[in-house]
Structure 1
Amino acid sequence: MWLVTVILGIACVYAGFVLLAALLQTKMLFPVQVAAANQPPLPPSAERLDVTTPDGDRLIGVRLGTSSQSKPCLLGFGGNAWNAAAVALYLHGLFPDREVIAFHYRGYPPSSGEPSARALLADSLTIFDHLQQERTRPLIAIGLSIGSGVASYLARHRPVNGLILVTPFDSLKALAKEHFAWAPTGLLLRHQMPVIDLVKDQRTPTAMIVAGRDTIVPARRSEPLRSVIPNLVLDRTIADAGHNDLYDHPAFVSAVREAVAQFEAASP
């Protein structure tokens, strides 16, 4: 009888952990408060952008730099703990002579609403359409970590001049299995972002940059993308970089600048 009791106890503990992970998945995937608490100060030249989604939420963005008819605008989509100010400042530091735009994800203050994978993907199209209505411009989409899924979705549905994927994953489902192998993630995961399907047979010039020591998005989760992207113009692995220290690595900076230069050279 004691063995049955032990087995039932273990089963209850397991079920509790699974339930907790299922209930907290949105908070873990979209750490809104972390992103909101780390907003760096913007220079006086920064411009605030405001876009309303079809369902009535407001997306707040940041524009840095000056627009140019000859140089593409850089539209950045950050990682899940990034905010628009951090993304815009980082990209502007790499490209001070270009127009850089980033938006706070839905539900990330000061944007309104509730974050979800579906909302982030749909909002990328709303942002693109608003920017093109404002003024037609060439545009390069840059996705960092989870932002690589958002940027891939945009490139799938709208004409961009180039796509840069930084520490991308093949799908959120596969990535969830990496971190929660003990849970039935396929049944419980409510947020879907099938990046591999978005980039498959997509002719947009694409660059992929991977961190060799990444434990958050392991390099093996990026590997499947290589075989399905038909126009992979740059494929770089920064061997001694991790997921978070990648952005300070000189080799990463060089790779991003090389990718943008290739896109510009190929543009009509």
Structure 2
Amino acid sequence: MWFVKLLIVGAVAYLLVLAAVFFFQTALLFPARLAGPSGPLPAGARHLALAMPDGERIHGLHIPPTRSREGNRLVILGFGGNAWNADHVAAYLHGLYPEADVVAFHYRGYGPSGGRPSAETLLADAPLIHDFIAKSLEPDRIVAVGFSIGGGIAARLASRRPLDGLILVTPFDSLAALARSHYPWLPIGLLLRHRMAPVEDLACVTAPVALIAGARDTLVPPKRTDALRPVVPNLVLDWTIAGAGHNDIYDRPAFREAMIEALRRMKSLSVRS
């Protein structure tokens, strides 16, 4: 009898876990509360606002170049990780690429942007952001940079709009595959309400692509990045940083070197998809 009771208790506990994963996954995937307040911004930075078709407004930041441009105008369009503040994204990319205009937008539900975050809305917003920047800044070249989950958004953008380059940092093949890697005992196919599959989007992207990953990443295991390599038609840089994890990769001198080299190669090609 005790064995039957144990089975019942176990089954109830498992169902409670399933319910928690189903109902709280948005907060886990998009922890807007962790994207802290903006710090000091570079001189010349200006705030942007964009009205979306559903009436919500999203907000972003544009940091102009502080180093004289060589040749055509380049815009770096950044998409941060799920706990990144867009101002931090823009400031970080500006530090890497001072010769470029840098733009990043706060995801929906990440203050001051309105709405609620979801994979569907973030993927749909990216092409509209691109069109807004293309019209307002009139750049000669646009290179998208996606960090972690932002890589999924940048990959979708590259499959929908012409880009001059795509840099993906700690990227994964799909949210479903990533979730299964961490929770093989859960029916992810039934529970997951947010779909993002860069492995499908990248297959049709002919723009030059760079993949930069950490060899000891436990959040995005190397096999999830490995799955992307065979499908990228124009992989111009594939750099795995030894000893780097998901978050400490940004502290490595090799990371900065990889990011600068990725853009250098894309500038030399400058072929739009």
Find the counterpart in structure 2 of residue 100 from structure 1.
102
Residue 259 of structure 1 deviates from its aligned partner by 0.8
**SS in structure 2 opposite 1:235?**
strand
Q: What 5-or-longer segments of structure 2 have no aligned partner?
A: none
3-state SS of 2:227 partner? helix
Q: State the match for 2:143 in structure 1.
A: 140
How far apart, CA to CA, are the structure 2 residues paired with 1:61 and 1:188?
A: 32
> Which residue is 2:213 aligned to?
210
Aligned mates of 1:8, 1:17 — CA distance in 2:
14
Deviation at 1:3, TM superposition (A): 1.4
Alpha-carbon separation, structure 2, partners of 1:28 and 1:44 = 34
User: CA offsets, 1:70-125, max 9 Å, x none?
Assistant: 14210000000001111011111111221111100111000000000011111101
State TM-score, norm by structure 2: 0.95
Q: 1:244 to 1:38 in 2, by over 3 A?
A: farther
Could you report, residue by residue, the CA deviation over 1:22-60 in whole angstroms, capped at 9, with x for unpaired residues?
Answer: 11100000001111x243222342100111111111110
Q: Aligned residue for 2:182?
A: 179
Q: How does 1:34-45 map to 2 (within 5 A)?
A: 34-35=34-35, 37-45=36-44
- The answer (yes or no) to whether the contact 2:169–2:212 under 8 Å persists in 1 is yes
Aligned pair 1:14/2:14, yes or no?
A: yes
Aligned to 1:78: 80
Aligned partners of 1:222 and 1:211: how far apart in 2?
Answer: 10
Mapped to 2, the partners of 1:180 and 1:214 lie a distance apart of 16
Kept in 1: contact 2:159–2:204 (CA 8 A) = no
- Does residue 199 in structure 1 map to residue 198 in structure 2? no
Amino acid at match of 1:45: G
CA drift of 1:65 comes to 2.0
In structure 2, C-alpha distance between the alignment counterparts of 1:82 and 1:236, rounded to whole Å: 23
Q: Give the distance between the partners of 1:39 and 1:23, measured in 2 at CA.
A: 29
Partner of residue 242, structure 1: 245
Instruction: Identify the residue that residue 61 of structure 1 maps to in structure 2.
Output: 60
Following superposition, the deviation at residue 21 of structure 1 comes to 1.3
Corresponding residue to 2:159 among 147, 156, 170 = 156
What residue ranges of structure 1 are gaps of 5+ in the alignment? Answer: none
Q: Note the C-alpha offset of 1:136.
A: 2.3
1:208–1:235 CA contact under 8 A, matched in 2: yes
Q: Does the Cα contact within 8 Å between 1:72 and 1:264 map onto a contact in 2?
A: no
Contact 2:122–2:153 (8 Å) recurs in 1: yes
CA contact (8 A) 2:214 2:244 kept: yes
Matches of 1:165 and 1:22, distance apart in 2: 28
- Matching residue's letter, 1:77: F
**CA-based RMSD:** 1.3
How far apart are the structure 1 equivalents of 2:238 and 2:266?
A: 14
Task: Give distance in 1, aligned partners of 2:42 and 2:94.
Answer: 11
Question: How far apart, in 2, do the equivalents of 1:250 and 1:205 lie?
Answer: 23
In structure 1, C-alpha distance between the alignment counterparts of 2:142 and 2:81, rounded to whole Å: 20
CA distance, structure 1, for counterparts of residue 235 and residue 170 of structure 2: 15
Q: How many residues align?
A: 267
Letter matched to residue 52 of structure 2: T
- What does the per-residue CA deviation read over 1:188-247, in whole Å, with 9 as the maximum and x for residues that have no partner? 100000110000132110000011110110111000110010100000000111100111
Q: Which residue of 2 aligns with 1:166?
A: 169
2: CA distance, partners of 1:161 / 1:64: 19
- Amino acid corresponding to residue 11 of structure 2 in structure 1: A
Partners of 2:111 and 2:83 lie apart in 1 by 12
**How far has the Cα of 1:265 moved from its partner?**
1.0
